[in-house]
Amino acid sequence: MKGHVILYDTTMRDGTQGEYITFSAEDKLRIAKKLDEFGIPYVEGGWPGSNPKDVRFFEMAKGFDFQNVRITAFSSTRRPGMTPQQDDNIQALLKTGMKTITLFGKSWDVHATDILEISLEENLKMIHDTVAYLRTEGKEVVYDAEHFFDGFRANPSYAMETLAAAQEGGAGTIVLCDTNGGRVPREITEMTDKVTGRIKVPIGIHAHNDCGLALANSLAAVEAGARMVQGTINGYGERCGNVDLIAVIGNLQFKMGYSCVPEEKIKQLTELSRFVSELANVPPMNQRPFVGKSAFAHKGGVHVSAIQKNPAAYEHMDPQLVGNRRRVLVSDLSGKSNIAYKAREMGIKLGGNGYDSQRIVAEIKHLEDQGYQFDAAEGSLELLIKKVTGQFHEPFVLESFRVTTEKNRLGPSPCQATIKISVGDEEEITAAEGDGPVNALDNALRKALTKFFPQIEEMGLVDFKVRVIDGSWGTGSKVRVQIDSRDSREIWSTIGVSENIIEASWQALADSVQYKLSKEQGQGLLDHEYRMQAAN
């Protein structure tokens, strides 16, 4: 290993400045606990002087015994014309009881003169006085040099004076911030190298992603001597976001030879990313490096054939090292290798001569030409493979359904659905209401089937998506409906396509239930077994 890089997480403060990102105080505590378990040494809890929610988080954090992490409280340097003792924001930092304080101050002269409207000398005093005061209070101080790279470019000598003021005040780490996210790696390298040659305390990097270079800039700073990287989980943050600590960890630890988290924890990287995504109520980005659902996904037949012989042919690392997994997708680009791989993964037997695979590929290409998309609906894909190979026995047959909806001047009324199905020799007719036509149809189907298949009661809907495939026909355009369903063991996706949105929804709903039933043991006898159970 080349050395150790300290990670500093600011998801709960800088990350929440991103559009649509918000965490309750309880959410923050859960994130802090997760980061503590993962081994992140510094976690920024928020700005206690800015809102009551952060004050409440720090109150809760004081009562929790963190094992690996230092929770830090964040604020600016003292305000002009007063001492740190007189500044409410600085006193709020002390009230948190946190041992580590992170301060930000101005490194760009234009921010002092034009934004704060103070002299350059007063700005230096604000930095020095605040850091020195917190040190006398026994606090470790991390100093964030806001806009440092822009400031250094405009006025190198003054930007360095601001760092010197923080160092003389007693800052333990000085972090160089590319606050506007506008610098490129070459500039980051040159400026960081000059700083590390003159400043004696450890240097950090804080990069934003406005030019898509936050990761490259952070890694460049580390190569130039920075030993702390600040960032957020999943890159959440203001404007285009902060550097993604997930990608930082993956690159530092696996590609560059630096240690940053314990070796035994690195396999939890994917879980960590998805945990924070869930609390942020933001869908995980499939293309996220290292941990995304698509990070190790293969679609082209040539690629799939190759990875079955040697995964390194099309994968830069073993996905299991970061808790991810290899996925083989099936689409109109697929070859027999994709089908063979997916069949093994699903536990479906194919004929040894490759004829089954050819038939499946042909059917998939035909259906995708009609608008189906099986790489996003593996539940429907599994049913298709079983149907083509004669390994699927329909547990029920739709005889008919009718859906009605009504709206008057007082507003919409509940929709009603009537459905008739056959299970073996028996028929069932039932009706149900719902908030919309699809909801009513779903309720009616479940009501009709529960008598025969009580296990579908544990099914639940996770997501429902509708997409217009080709909008040139206006309201008569073909649509694709994708449904994500779950039970206690797994989540699966099914799909339907039609010019009629109700018909497309029915296809996806029916596939969803059929997938669930097809996973049961003795699938070929399902309808008989459950009729017998119902009769007894």
C-alpha 381 chain-centroid distance:
25
Same domain, 432 and 357: no
Range of the domain at 335: 297-369
The SS3 of residue 45 is: strand
131's CB contacts (< 8 A; 6+ apart) are: 77, 103, 141, 143, 165, 166, 169, 170, 171
Residue 250 is assigned to a structural domain of this protein: yes
Same domain, 189 and 52: yes
Asked if residue 441 lies in contact with residue 434, where contact means CB atoms within 8 angstroms, the answer is yes
**pLDDT tens digits along 455-500:** 888 888 878 888 888 777 787 888 999 988 888 778 888 999 999 9
Residue 290 is assigned to a structural domain of this protein: no
Between CA 396 and CA 409 the distance in angstroms is: 40
**pLDDT tens digits along 200-254:** 999 999 999 999 999 999 999 999 999 999 999 999 999 999 999 999 999 999 9
Number of DSSP helices (H) and strands (E) in the chain, helices first: 18, 20
Same domain, 360 and 401: no
CATH classification of the domain holding 221: 3.20.20.70
**What count of other Cβ atoms lies within 10 Å of the Cβ of residue 148?**
29
321: its two tokens = 């090292």
Q: Which amino acid is present at 255?
A: K
The sheet carrying 426-434 orders its strands as 397-404, 415-423, 426-434
Q: 529 pLDDT exceeds 50?
A: no
Instruction: Tell me phi and psi for residue 480, to 5 degrees.
Output: -115, 125
Same domain, 248 and 327: no
Average pLDDT over residues 397-422: 91
End residue of a domain, out of 351, 369, 387:
369
Residue 336 is assigned to a structural domain of this protein: yes
Average pLDDT over residues 278-300: 87
Kindly list the distances between the CA atom of residue 60 and the CA atoms of 16, 50, 56, in Å, as whole numbers in the listed order: 19, 17, 6
Residue 222 is assigned to a structural domain of this protein: yes
Average pLDDT over residues 338-346: 80
63's CB contacts (< 8 A; 6+ apart) are: none
Same domain, 414 and 359: no
Same domain, 76 and 153: yes
Same domain, 99 and 189: yes
Q: 336 pLDDT exceeds 80?
A: no
Q: What is the pTM of this model?
A: 0.72
Residue 292 is assigned to a structural domain of this protein: no
Residue 87 is assigned to a structural domain of this protein: yes
125's CB contacts (< 8 A; 6+ apart) are: 165
Average pLDDT over residues 59-86: 95
Average pLDDT score over the chain: 90
**pLDDT tens digits along 183-194:** 999 999 999 999
Range scoring the smallest mean pLDDT among 164-168, 375-379, 450-454, 508-512: 375-379
Q: What is the DSSP letter of 311?
A: G
Same domain, 64 and 147: yes
Average pLDDT over residues 124-150: 98
**pLDDT tens digits along 32-41:** 999 999 999 9
Q: 66 pLDDT exceeds 80?
A: yes
Same domain, 144 and 226: yes
Same domain, 187 and 335: no
Provide the pLDDT for residue 333: 57
Provide the pLDDT for residue 432: 95
Asked if residue 42 lies in contact with residue 70, where contact means CB atoms within 8 angstroms, the answer is yes
506 exposure class (CB count in 10 Å sphere: 0-12, 13-18, 19+) = buried
Asked if residue 409 lies in contact with residue 428, where contact means CB atoms within 8 angstroms, the answer is no
Provide the pLDDT for residue 155: 97
Q: How many domains is the chain built from?
A: 3
Same domain, 361 and 416: no
Average pLDDT over residues 65-70: 94
25: its two tokens = 């105080």
Average pLDDT over residues 174-180: 98
Average pLDDT over residues 38-66: 92
What is the maximum alpha-carbon separation in the chain? 91
Same domain, 422 and 329: no
Q: 337 pLDDT exceeds 90?
A: no
End residue of a domain, out of 242, 261, 280:
261
Residue 271 is assigned to a structural domain of this protein: no
Residue 283 is assigned to a structural domain of this protein: no
> What is the number of alpha carbons within 13 Å of residue 112 lying toward its C-beta?
26
CATH classification of the domain holding 513: 3.30.160.270
Provide the pLDDT for residue 353: 64
Asked if residue 6 lies in contact with residue 227, where contact means CB atoms within 8 angstroms, the answer is yes
Beta strand pairing status for 411-412 and 407-408?
antiparallel
Between CA 41 and CA 267 the distance in angstroms is: 18
Average pLDDT over residues 292-321: 87
C-alpha 56 chain-centroid distance:
26
